[in-house]
Amino acid sequence: MFDAAVREGVLRLRRPETRWLSTGWNGGRSRADAAYNVSVPEGFDRTDLGAYRDERLSRAAFKSEGGAGRDGAPPTLFTGVSMDHARGARFGPVVAYATVGLSNPAMLPMDPAGAAGGAPEPDSGAGAATDDPPRPGTVNLVVGTTRRLADGAAANLVAVAAEAKAATLLATAGVPGTTSDAVVVGDDPTGEPAAFSGSATPVGAAARVCVRDAVRAGLRSRYPDGDTPGPAADAEHGVVADDRAEVFEP
């Protein structure tokens, strides 16, 4: 299985020669010995993220342990959440780790004109979607499976994990996610093959359970009093998709 460790504000999920697919910075497909989730300080404004990653991995003594793999650029996520709040869950062939910060919720009201469901109006602390750099609230997920996923199954597992994250946060915090969420999934190229990863498959079902439980645990750790900065608290940062698209038949 995958080995997890936290040092110096960095979470490492390690398994040699793992295939990774990341939606985060410098993402895409890679093969590396580990994936990382890095906690950044308040007011973080570095733009040389590759150099910053290397500094943090070296400080945590991870870089010296062969963590880069053959591609030399391990998948790395960044978050404003302390790794003290990182939580993992394991079930069947899957393990998932989550860090949960909700300072910048991304709301999608089902009644855009009225911003239904308790979502904040754009002028009450949450703005319309912009191209500004994301703020470091972030719900980051790192998911690993011992199965060998087909290319489509790996991509679909990202969607399965994101769906489970959104369902969990909606039920527990009233928001589906933040403006800067990211997912990394890893699979074992020597494992039992899995052509599919949908919710009814062993991999997909296990991922849903692991993501749900890791996110809930991370949420409880980060907000032990249940005082989440979601729409009910008029979070200072965030966006509301309050427009209406043109709908038509093909």
Please write the tens of the pLDDT for every residue from 102-145. 989 999 989 886 544 443 443 333 444 444 444 557 999 999 99
Residue 203: its pLDDT value, please?
98
Residues 6+ apart with CB under 8 A from 46: 40, 52
Please count the structural domains in the chain: 1
pLDDT score recorded for residue 65: 57
DSSP state of 213: H
Q: What is d(CA 140, CA 208) in angstroms, rounded to the nearest whole number?
A: 15
Could you report the per-residue pLDDT of 32-85, keeping only the tens digit for each? 999 999 999 989 999 999 999 999 999 999 975 555 555 568 999 999 999 999
pLDDT at residue 157 is higher than 80: yes
Q: Is 179 exposed, middle or buried (0-12, 13-18, 19+ CB in 10 A)?
A: buried
Tell me which residue range forms the domain holding 12.
3-240
Q: Are strands 239-240 and 106-107 parallel, antiparallel or unpaired?
A: parallel
Position 236 scores a pLDDT of: 66
138 in any annotated domain: yes
Q: What is the model's pTM?
A: 0.88
Kindly state whether residue 193 falls inside one of the protein's structural domains.
yes
Closest to 65 measured CA to CA, from 15, 1, 139, 21: 15
* Residue 249 placed within a domain: no
C-alpha 24: how far from its chain's center?
8
The answer to whether residue 109 is domain-embedded is yes
**Angle 104-204-13 (CA atoms, 0-180°, nearest 5)?**
65
- Considering the domain boundaries, does residue 245 fall inside one? no
Is residue 132, in this structure, part of any structural domain at all?
yes
3-state SS string over 121-148?
CCCCCCECCCCCCCCCCCEEEEEEECCE
Residue 136's pLDDT is 54
Indicate whether 198 belongs to any domain.
yes
Q: Return the pLDDT at 116.
A: 41
- Give domain status of residue 248, yes or no: no
CATH number of the structural domain spanning residue 136: 3.60.70
State residue 111's pLDDT score.
87
pLDDT band at 231 (very low <50, low <70, confident <90, very high): low
CB 2 within 8 A of CB 144: yes
Long-range contacts of 224-230 (CB under 8 A, 24+ apart): 228/102, 228/173, 228/174, 228/175, 229/102, 229/103, 229/105, 230/102, 230/105, 230/173, 230/174, 230/175
